């Protein structure tokens, strides 16, 4: 039996996948470039992250407008609470990651550049090292929180699909016409 609360609008499904897959890409790119000191990726990481921020804000507006998905009645209390926590952490991190990245970059003097379009000119010296370093800590922490939360999110979707055989995953693959 299909739960009407689990039928999502076309916009919700499209932005779920657009933001989700983009965040995974930018997250992996960020971890790879830092770990391996691949400085050429910073340009792409920053530009893609900044672009993604626009879509993430729109997704957040959709979530506020439509509300968070209601858990199925068949979910246990732990599943309901965990799914709500995961939803909130993912939404928050898709906003906090780009904001902290923007602050980290600009405050440390790297400017704010979106695919060669300069919003804040780079400076030879940091604008505010303390705020830049705090933003870096927030950015890195959010990255690890997001990575763990994404693992929970994907694991939960697969658990519901493979073990419970319910329509949780299918609800994010179907497009409602509206």
Q: How many domains does the chain have?
A: 1
Q: What is the pLDDT of residue 167?
A: 74
Decide if 40 is inside a domain.
yes
Q: What is the pLDDT of residue 6?
A: 57
Return the residue matching tokens 């830092």: 34
d(Cα 118, Cα 124) in Å, to the nearest integer? Answer: 15
Q: What is the pLDDT of residue 178?
A: 46
d(Cα 138, Cα 80) in Å, to the nearest integer? Answer: 28
Q: What is the pLDDT along the chain (178 residues), one digit of tens a residue?
A: 344 455 677 888 888 889 999 999 999 999 999 999 999 999 999 999 999 999 999 999 988 888 887 877 778 899 889 989 999 999 999 999 999 999 999 999 999 999 999 999 999 999 999 999 999 999 999 999 999 999 999 988 888 788 878 777 777 777 554 4
Q: What is the pLDDT of residue 139?
A: 97
Decide if 141 is inside a domain.
yes
d(Cα 104, Cα 117) in Å, to the nearest integer? Answer: 18
Domain of 91 in residue numbering reads as 4-171
Decide if 151 is inside a domain.
yes
Q: What is the pLDDT of residue 175?
A: 52
Decide if 92 is inside a domain.
yes
Q: What is the 3-state secondary structure (H, E, C) of the chain?
A: CCCHHHCCEHHHHHHHHHHHHHHHHHHHHHHHHHHHCCCHHHHHHHHHHHHHHHHHHHHHHHHHHHCCCCCCCCCCHHHHHHHHHHHHHHHHHHHHHHHHHHHHHHHCCCCEEECCEEEECCCCCCCCHHHHHHHHHHHHHHHHHHHHHHHHHHHHHHHHHHHCCCCHHHHCCCCECC
Is the Cβ–Cβ distance between 97 and 142 less than 8 Å? yes
Is the Cβ–Cβ distance between 26 and 48 less than 8 Å? yes
Q: What is the pLDDT of residue 35?
A: 94
């Amino acid at each position: 039996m299909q739960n009407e609360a689990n039928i999502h609008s076309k916009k919700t499904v499209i932005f779920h996948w657009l933001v989700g897959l983009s965040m995974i890409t930018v997250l992996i790119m960020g971890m790879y470039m830092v770990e391996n000191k691949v400085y050429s990726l910073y340009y792409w990481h920053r530009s893609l992250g900044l672009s993604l921020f626009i879509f993430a804000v729109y997704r957040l507006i959709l979530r506020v407008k439509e509300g968070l998905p209601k858990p199925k009645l068949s979910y246990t209390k732990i599943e309901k609470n965990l799914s709500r926590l995961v939803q909130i952490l993912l939404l928050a991190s898709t906003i906090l990651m780009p904001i902290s990245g923007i602050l980290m970059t600009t405050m440390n003097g790297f400017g704010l550049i979106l695919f060669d379009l300069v919003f804040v000119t780079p400076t030879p010296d940091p604008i505010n090292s303390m705020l830049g370093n705090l933003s870096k800590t927030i950015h890195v922490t959010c990255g690890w929180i997001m990575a763990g939360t994404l693992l929970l999110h994907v694991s939960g979707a697969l658990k519901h699909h493979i073990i419970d055989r319910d329509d949780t995953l299918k609800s994010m693959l179907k497009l409602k016409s509206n």
